[in-house]
Amino acid sequence: MKKIGSCLWKLIEKIVVGCLRLLYTALHKELTEDVIDGFMQFVKFGLVGVSNTVVNYVIYAGALLFLQKNHLWKAYDYLIATGIGFVLSVLWSFFWNNKFVFAVGEGENRSVLKALLKTYVSYSFTGLFLNSFLMVLWVKMLGISEFVAPIINLLVSVPLNFLINKFWAFKSER
């Protein structure tokens, strides 16, 4: 299974690098290894984000069904399920970002607990506060559909969350 994952990642990497080469050639720019590495790190972050979304929803739905089936906290069951989904999916995201996206390099150190706390802060900021603010902006102030607004939010929150995680939450110490 590990070999299949490795082959799949190499295929994704070849496709992405090929597209970058075409884009940079069309723009008459030089494509450096640093640009490729940075962009591939962003792609990895996106893949972790997609898995995080799936994990969040599965945990939310499972917790909600459990609470409803057992008649627990009926008036707040969806809020409790949301909290459980958030806490566990951010933990999932942290694990994979720490291992796959922002791995500690040779000669670098990172406090796992400190990085985990920073991850919860960054996801709380972008996932809860920023997205709520932007939803009000898009829907109430600019009249954008409630179904389109979350997609626009992704264009803002994903790159911002990547930068916060890269340069703050997962910043290594030398």
> What pLDDT, in 10s, does the model give residues 49-88?
999 999 999 999 999 999 999 998 888 898 999 999 999 9
Percentage of the chain with pLDDT > 90? 75
Distance CA 54, CA 167 (A): 26
List alpha helices for 29-166, DSSP H: 33-69, 77-96, 112-123, 131-135, 149-164
What's the whole-number average pLDDT of the chain?
92
Residue 46, number of CB atoms within 10 A of its CB: 15
pLDDT of residue 134: 92
CA distance 62 to 68: 10
Evaluate if residue 29 carries a pLDDT over 90.
yes
Tell me if 166 sits within 8 A of 102, measured CB to CB. Answer: yes
Q: What is the pLDDT of residue 111?
A: 93
pLDDT-derived band at 9 (thresholds 50, 70, 90) equals: confident
pTM (global) more than 0.75: yes
Q: What average pLDDT does the segment 29-57 reach?
A: 95
Q: Which residue, among 20, 92, 6, has the nearest Cα to 50 in the 3D structure?
A: 92
Closest CA to 10 of 170, 106, 26, 2: 2
User: Is the pLDDT confidence value at 170 over 80?
Assistant: yes
Where residue 174 falls among pLDDT bands split at 50, 70, 90? low
Are 56 and 85 within 8 A, CB to CB?
Answer: yes
